[in-house]
Structure 1
């Protein structure tokens, strides 16, 4: 059974107040006819459009005007630096929304690690934001952030290393030493800050944050919460995994590399899947990859999404919608987040290359058994705060970390030649029957 993915192009459009009522009605009927034909032709690739037609400018110009005026009012309030009372959905239009903007940052924040390591991570991430300030950099603040991180690391050495399992103690000790003393560590950051060298500081900071993430992963050997009883017989991923997609052009053309090299008809996309925040969704996907469910699957492009239009039948599980809210210890099931009320997910969709499952054709409370999509986040089609209008509505379970430049070159008709689970097989827990099949 084919599944559904949101009609993301229907949201955030500017109103057309000069359209006549007759013209709007004609366009609305034409849109409904087109949608009906498209859904029959592609077996429901574009989902949830029927209840979002009121957001189409031709079908609901008045509602569009209201939404556009809200955005304009929020922007004017910010520009004039005046304080006004905004509605609950102001989070959509706030320019200060704190969402990670890269898959790597989102994945690092999602690791359920020792609180001391999280405090070190936050101090170093603050430097990343400070480096974006043009012209004169606040090096004094940066130095304070590094020294704060060093103090936490030194004062809490036993707690940091004590939370690492015995079999990884030696590796953890080396990483701890590397973070404090070796090239690319905190001492190196202080040197480049004193030299006022933002370029070298940026490179060393990335190295330090990578080391922090490695330490945190050692501290998180499995799930930090218990799954609900009714989901214990589902496949689940108890940590991180890496999947490599080999994609080929369907029309004989080539992919163009952005960093030199020769154009090729085949490209590789690497995805890190996160069982810490979406164990059921990631587990079901990992099992499908092992079963070869995506090998030979045709890709289709919709607005802001690349959809794997596979017909795997009953190979996958109808997993409930699974979203981990920020600040919570376990995911919510069958319950989307209310972004208007300020609820944000640990794994946001508002990141270019986010990977999520489409909705089940029967209910938005469940994910498709097998149909995934790559989200091509575009800030121009989001709220003022850079949040997708569909944020918190889908089960995001990973991010594209390699080959992001390939995504923009994929066209309808291109194919997944193969998908392989290259890391994390040991973290995949399968039900007894499924384990016997794999």
Structure 2
């Protein structure tokens, strides 16, 4: 069985980049600005940084120029003592000192060490950002999402800034009304006009959100913001009637999903036990979860998964819990299936990369990150990491305690993530090895699933 995360191998090869020791943080020693405007001191400290800490300490304790008078010698000693102390603090402290030139920090280090790395932390947020919608709607969306960050500020919240964000969103929505509605297909215009009116003046619209902000009630602001963002997402989905890019010619024989789909999975306990009761509910022998699969960013992977679901490939499949993941058993031979090439959409790009993982240490981040609890991804093929398994998928149980300093999974950008668990996330942590998928059904998105006429043999020959 192919392991989805290959944890022992992956971590051993990536731990250097994600958790380097303080002594390997070279940017800590780049161009320090000397507090004593002396040329010799500056050159000396740069030479020390090149020679290593031990040589630096030894050099800093070297004898002082004998030509200096006692006062100058004492001043020199003080300077070098301060420099030595600063170096010690810099080596053993994770925080940079004042005066460092931040422009010399590489993109890789900025991504991995910054606690403010803006990777979506929920499946809902990641899915919303992945919709290829009208630029005006994306401006509105970004303005509202910024309020989510502002709401996390404790004590005195910046309600003035929040109100400015809503006013900006309202202005764009009103000024660009024609552009927004023009991006919606003709057969969906009526629904689009209704959603647009809701966004402006509806109960959960922007005007109502602005009123809540003026009242400075964080609970009402949070609820109103969620409602506005849901309406934004609904409008964007109407605008995104299909893929915004052309698939490479060699992959046109694969099944593909031209949009979004929803899969409902019912899981039973394999040992006769029960799932914990939901609030006020009863113990359950089976539990249902829903996942939204995203063909906008991973059309081949989501399409192949949807095809497997509709063919009953996962009905009766056993589950295993390994390495922060719940993975299906190897179902080779149960149904005809193919290995889809590794498919990852990088942030800021218009189409996915194929057979190429992202280099997170170089600043590359995916549109659909793995670093979200309940992310759904395909395992790697047993023969090549450039391809996904023809059958095995897994739920990723992201835990920030086992991630890099930027809050990123050690395996970020290495797997084809194609969706997120949107309902029943509390069930994932209760699944144990031996539990069974009773059924898996594609309950939404059948009309977006494209199954080419060519059979699987043609697909195999094309790869």
TM-score range, shorter chain: 0.7 to 0.9
- Please say if residues 22 and 91 of structure 2, whose CA atoms lie closer than 8 Å, have aligned partners that are also in contact: no
Measure the CA separation in 2 of the matches of 1:54 and 1:329: 30
How many corresponding residue pairs? 389
The question of 1:159 aligning with 2:179 is answered yes
Structure 2 residue aligned with 1:39: none
- Once the two structures are superposed, residues 357-385 of structure 1 have per-residue CA deviations (whole angstroms, 9 ceiling, x without a partner) of 00000000000001000000011111111
Single out whichever of 204-213 and 308-317 deviates more from structure 2.
Answer: 308-317
Structure-1-length-normalised TM-score: 0.84
When residues 195 and 425 of structure 1 are mapped into structure 2, their CA distance, relative to the original with a 3 A threshold, is: same
Corresponding residue SS for 2:318:
strand
Match for 2:347 among 321, 326, 332? 326
What pairs with 1:163-312 in structure 2 (closer than 5 Å)?
A: 163-312=183-332
Q: Return the alpha-carbon distance in structure 2 between the equivalents of residues 257 and 145 of structure 1.
A: 41
Tell me the alpha carbon deviations over residues 96-147 of structure 1, each in whole angstroms, 9 at most, x when there is no partner.
2110000000000000000000000000001111011101110000000000
Match of 1:374 in 2: 395
Q: Within the alignment, does 1:4 sit opposite 2:25 as a pair? A: no
3-state SS in 1 of match to 2:326:
strand
- Whether the aligned pair in 2 keeps the contact of 1:236 and 1:279 (CA below 8 Å) is yes
Tell me the equivalent position of 1:335: 356
Does the alignment pair 1:403 with 2:432? Answer: no
Runs of 4+ in 1 over 4 A off after TM superposition: 51-56, 62-75, 79-82, 84-88
Task: State the shift of 1:312 in Å.
Answer: 3.3
Aligned in 2, Cα 1:63/1:340: closer, same or farther, shift over 3 Å?
closer
Partner of 2:108: 89
CA RMSD of aligned residues (A): 2.2
Change (3 A) 1:317 1:74: farther
Q: TM-score scaled to structure 2, two decimals?
A: 0.80
C-alpha distance in structure 2 between counterparts of 1:94 and 1:279, whole Å: 31
Alignment partners' CA distance in 2, 1:95 and 1:74: 20
CA contact (8 A) 2:312 2:440 kept: yes
Q: Partners of 2:17 and 2:148 in 1: how far apart?
A: 39
Q: Once the 2 structures are TM-superposed, how far is the Cα of residue 299 of structure 1 from its aligned partner?
A: 0.4
- CA drift of 1:194 comes to 0.8
Flag structure 2 segments of 5+ consecutive residues without an equivalent. 29-89, 457-463
Q: Aligned equivalents of 2:376 and 2:252: distance in 1?
A: 24
Worse-matched range after superposition: 309-318 or 367-376: 309-318
Cα pair 2:403 2:409 within 8 Å, conserved: yes
What is the Cα deviation at residue 278 of structure 1? Answer: 0.2
1:127–1:158 distance in 2 versus 1, CA, 3 Å: same
The 1:156/1:146 distance shift into structure 2, 3 A limit, reads same
1:132 correspondence with 2:148: no
Q: Deviations over 1:372-404 (max 9, x none)?
A: 000000111111110111100000000000000
Q: Tell me, what secondary structure is at the counterpart of 1:432? A: coil
2: CA distance between counterparts of 1:336 and 1:102?
22
How big is the shift at 1:92? 1.7
Note the 1:134-153 alignment, pairs <5 A. 134-153=154-173
Q: How much does 1:76 deviate? A: 3.7
CA distance in 2, matches of 1:277, 1:251: 38
- Cα offset, 1:5, TM superposition: 1.3
Query: 2:375, 2:397 within 8 Å by CA — same for their partners in 1?
Result: yes
Deviates more, 1:426-435 or 1:304-313: 426-435
Q: For residues 55 and 239 of structure 1, what CA distance do their matches in structure 2 show?
A: 34
For the structure 1 residues 268 and 200, does the alpha-carbon distance in structure 2 shift closer, same or farther, using more than 3 Å as the test? same
Asked whether the 8 Å contact 1:240–1:272 carries over to 2, the reply is yes
Q: C-alpha distance in 2, partners of 1:309/1:432?
A: 29
**Post-superposition offset of 1:212:** 0.1
